[in-house]
Amino acid sequence: MSDETEIDIDDLKRRMEGALAALRTEFGSLRTGRASASMLEPIQAEAYGQMTPINQLGTVNVPEPRMVTINVWDKSMVGKVEKAIRESGLGINPQLNGTIIMLPIPELNEERRRELTRVAAQYAESARVAVRNVRRDGMDQLKKAKAAGMSEDEHKLWSEEVQELTDAFIGRVDKALETKQEEIMQV
């Protein structure tokens, strides 16, 4: 088998891992009724003339299952961080205690839980589409390799390998979704 006819399975695997990592990041931003430092990652506050992630303005801790605290390093930034959290759409009401901002995480009602499971399902579908797009790229590489002289048997073996990889990653996306939905629906 020559190098020209070989497709890069490691590259396909790396790209599929990227889709799964993006899914985990999106899942991390979903508020499930449990405190998590990752739920603050997308929030930015104006600091020193530019938008800055909150975790770069203070120490984020999770001291209890239903509480997140942010120890803001610069006293002049406390109000801006609080404002950014209020306007973020997380539905959390920050409480100030000096330079420490406390975020009590309220219980989710049944309707909100169902809505969050639908959002999680949409994120998972996007990840599945991304994995399938990587599969399509791999199959396109195989078509080109076949046109360049790859044997029918080699083509079939590589196709099966790409399909197995795709199936494995789709399975991992489905498992991550199932876990996240259980976490959301847990009362």
pLDDT at residue number 14: 94
Distance CA 90, CA 39 (A): 8
**In the predicted structure, residue 185 carries a pLDDT above the cut 90:** no
What are the pLDDT digits (tens) for 45-66?
A: 988 889 988 888 999 998 888 8
Beta bridge partners of 59: 71
| Percent over 90 (pLDDT), the chain | 40
What are the pLDDT digits (tens) for 143-161?
A: 998 898 889 999 999 999 9
Q: What are phi and psi of 167, to 5 degrees?
A: -60, -40
Q: What are phi and psi of 131, to 5 degrees?
A: -65, -40
Distance CA 80, CA 98 (A): 14
Q: How many CB atoms lie within 10 A of CB 152?
A: 8
Confidence band of 15 (pLDDT split at 50, 70, 90): very high
* Contact (CB, 8 A) for 35 and 105: yes
Domain boundaries, the chain: 3-28+109-185, 37-104
CATH code for residues 3-28+109-185? 1.10.132.20
Question: Which helix (H) or strand (E) is 21 found in, with range?
Answer: helix 9-28
Beta bridge partners of 52: 45
What are the pLDDT digits (tens) for 87-121?
A: 876 777 899 988 899 988 877 788 878 888 888 89
| Fold exhibited by the domain 37-104 | Gyrase A; domain 2 (3.30.1360)
Looking only at the bridges linking them, the beta strands covering 67-72 and 58-64 are antiparallel
pLDDT at residue number 4: 46
